[in-house]
Every structure is written in C-alpha cells, then in structure tokens.
Amino acid sequence: MSTAQRDTIKFSASDAGLTPEMRAAFDRDGYLLIEDFVPATKCDQLVTRANELVADFDAGAHHTVFSAKSVAHAADRYFQESGDAIRFFLEEEAVDAEGNLTRPKELAVNKVGHAMHDLDPVFSAFSRQPRLAALAKGLFRDPLLLQSMYIFKQPGIGGEVSWHQDSTYLYTEPMSCIGFWFALEDADSSNGGMLAMPGAHRGPLRKRFRHVSDDRLVTETLDETPWPQGPVVNLDARKGSLVVLHGLLPHFSSANRSSRSRHAFTLHCIDGAAHYPSDNWLRRGADLPLRGF
C-alpha cells in the first residue's frame, strides 16, 4: 500500500439528494465527503444526548472492551446481542487487568451501539432527517437503517481502527452496505481522522465476520488479495461534515493521542432488495424489524 496522498474531493451539502456529480464521484472513488451537511446545533444535540446515555450507563455491571486489534469482544454476549439494543463498549486503555476503569466513565467509553437510530428519539430524528433520506434514496432501491454507532475516539487513548471494509461486518447478497459517517467534532490527522483508498472498492471483499454457531463469531478469510498499492486520501472532516463510504472501500483511522476528542456518529444502511444472511453477526429480534427513512 502506498502512503502517497491524493487530494480529497469535497462537495457542498444540498437538499437535492444525490447529484449526478456525486454519483459519478462515488462510483469512481467509493466515497463522498460532503461539507456542512448537518448544522452545528444538531451535532451538539447528538453529543449532549450521547453524554446523557453514558451518564446512565452502569460501567460496573458491563465492562466489555472494544478493540479493532482484538476479537475478545466477539465472545461476549453483551456485544453479540447488541444489534437491537443500546450498549456501551470501553476503550482498551481505559481498563486495568482486573477490568476496573482507570479514568472517569465519560472518558472511558469507546462507542455506543448498535440500535440508537431506532430506540432513542434524538438519534432516530437525526438518522431520519430529510436531507439524509434524499441522499440515501439516490443510493439504494429500498434503504434500510441497519446499524448505528456513536464513536468517542477519546483524547489520549482513542484506539486505532485498522484497514477494513464495512461489508466484512454487514454483508448482503448482493453487497449493498453503505456507511454514513458524521463528524460531530472536527476530525483530522491529529486526532484520529480517517484515511481511505480511492477506487479500491472495486476490489474483492477480503474477510467476513459471521456466526458459526449461536454463540461463536469468527472472521473468515474470503480473498487473500493484498490491499492496493495506489494512493490514499486523508478524509479530514470539519464538524457537520458527512463522509459516505462504500461497503467495499478500505478505510482506516489512527489512534488519537491528542488532547482533543473526535466524536462521530455512524449509520450503516443496506438495501431491502438484497438478502441479509442469517449468519451475519448483527441480529435483531422479530419485535424490532429494520426500517427505512
């Protein structure tokens, strides 16, 4: 993989949905960076609500660590059964060997997931705002909101997320996963901003994370093709920006060693016209079916 940087193409927000220029760029590069998609006040509302949820979280009862460098969380039923719940996952460096927090709870959470968009009114309203609905309807035949994550990227300890493809975790036949990543605070290379490999979404799906039994998850290698050697783009995103990510696009975010947090909210959508296999890791009960906008 080359470390050469390519200029990031940016678009301005519009209520018109997916423009022909955006469609062409997404098909070519596998991502869109749309600035000022969400007003700062809406970003602040989501940050406030996330902090309220964390305040009510019992860190003594649940201390599942989420780390992209380890699969330990995959064996935890608290994680496995979070597809239709609101659950809290801790940063690896915020927990000692006995599982005790080493810092205040509000600075220890890695992320919250994975159904806030359906279970919390504030997150649901944000997730189903008309501007996003218009954009999604240009990308899908039948957009369904599958997963949501509030990511804190805590100052000093926010963990690295290694190169990956979202369709590894949210697989459909044919593949249809698209991620909508909202910068709720400024995100750049100094506080764990994202990198992506433009055009690499045209390559194969390398891995799949799935159930092999009701309580066992594995990461299966599908294709050993290495990541491309082409340039990468730095997806610096100002507060209020939206990054749209094709499910096959390799992307990465570095650890956050700065004194600044990097709060973000991510929605993953799939197409209702596609098949969602029952061995996908993320499952929902019959009482919470997938919904669109």
Instruction: Give the count of domains, the chain.
Output: 1
**CATH number for the domain harbouring residue 59:** 2.60.120.620
pLDDT tens-digit map of 74-84 = 778 999 999 99
Q: Is residue 216 part of a domain?
A: yes
Q: Is residue 292 part of a domain?
A: no
**CA–CA dist 149, 117 (Å, integer):** 9
Q: Is residue 9 part of a domain?
A: yes
DSSP state of 160: P
pTM value is 0.94
H-only helix segments in 65-129: 77-80, 116-119, 121-127
Three-state DSSP class for 9? coil
User: How large is the average pLDDT for residues 170-182?
Assistant: 98
Question: Is 171 within 8 Å of 277 (Cβ atoms)?
Answer: yes
- 2: pLDDT strictly greater than 60: no
Predicted local distance difference test score (pLDDT) of residue 73:
67
Q: Is residue 172 part of a domain?
A: yes
- 186: pLDDT strictly greater than 60: yes
Integer CA distances (angstroms), 217 to 81, 107, 151, 206, 208, in order: 12, 29, 22, 17, 10
**Cβ count near 244 (within 10 Å):** 23
Q: Is residue 110 part of a domain?
A: yes
Predicted local distance difference test score (pLDDT) of residue 136:
97
R_g (Cα) of the chain, nearest Å: 18
Q: Is residue 257 part of a domain?
A: yes
pLDDT tens-digit map of 10-41 = 999 888 899 999 999 999 999 999 999 999 99
H-only helix segments in the chain: 20-29, 40-56, 77-80, 116-119, 121-127, 130-137
Q: Is residue 282 part of a domain?
A: no
> Structural domain of residue 20, as residue ranges?
5-271
Predicted local distance difference test score (pLDDT) of residue 8:
85
247-269: b (≥16 Cβ within 10 Å) or e: bbbbbbbbebebebbbbbbbbbb
Cis, peptide link before residue 114, omega less than 30° from 0: yes
pLDDT band with cut points at 50, 70 and 90 for residue 257: very high
Question: Is 187 within 8 Å of 50 (Cβ atoms)?
Answer: no
| Residue 133: φ, ψ to 5° | -60, -40
**CA–CA dist 159, 70 (Å, integer):** 11
Q: Is residue 281 part of a domain?
A: no
CB neighbour list of residue 21: distance below 8 Å, 6 or more residues apart: 11
Average pLDDT, the chain: 93
Burial-class residue 77 by CB neighbours within 10 Å (0-12, 13-18, 19+).
Answer: exposed
pLDDT band with cut points at 50, 70 and 90 for residue 126: very high
Predicted local distance difference test score (pLDDT) of residue 76:
84
